[in-house]
Amino acid sequence: MSYFRITLHRSAIGLPKRTRGVLAALGLRKRSQTVFHPEVAQALTSKQLREERQPEPGFWVERAVPR
């Protein structure tokens, strides 16, 4: 199995909140930290992505998150 090697080269200080969220989701916390994530077996089509993101029946959003 092949992996992506992702390294954080610069500090996240001063970056937009959204970008810092992406770094946190990737598991990057410190400068020069490296994480490995496995490659996906098969790329999904846009229709498959849309279906995957659909909430389950009976799901509702109580309150929208401010952005």
- Whether 17 is in a domain gets the answer yes
pLDDT confidence band for 66 (50 / 70 / 90) = confident
- Give the number of domains in the chain: 1
Q: What are residue 4's DSSP bridge partners?
A: 37
2 or 23: which leads in pLDDT: 23
With respect to residue 61, please indicate whether it lies within any of the assigned structural domains: no
Would 28 be classed as within a structural domain? yes
Give the pLDDT score at 42. 87
- CATH number, residue 9: 3.30.1390.20
In a domain, 47, yes or no: yes
Count Cα atoms within 13 angstroms, Cβ side, for 60.
2
Assigned domain for 65 exists = no
Give the range of the structural domain holding residue 10, as residue numbers without chain letter: 3-53
Q: For 11-53, how does the pLDDT look when each residue is reduced to its tens digit (9 = 90+)?
A: 999 999 999 999 999 999 999 999 999 988 888 899 998 998 8
- Find out whether 5 and 36 touch, Cβ atoms under 8 Å: yes
* Six-digit token string for 7: 């390294």
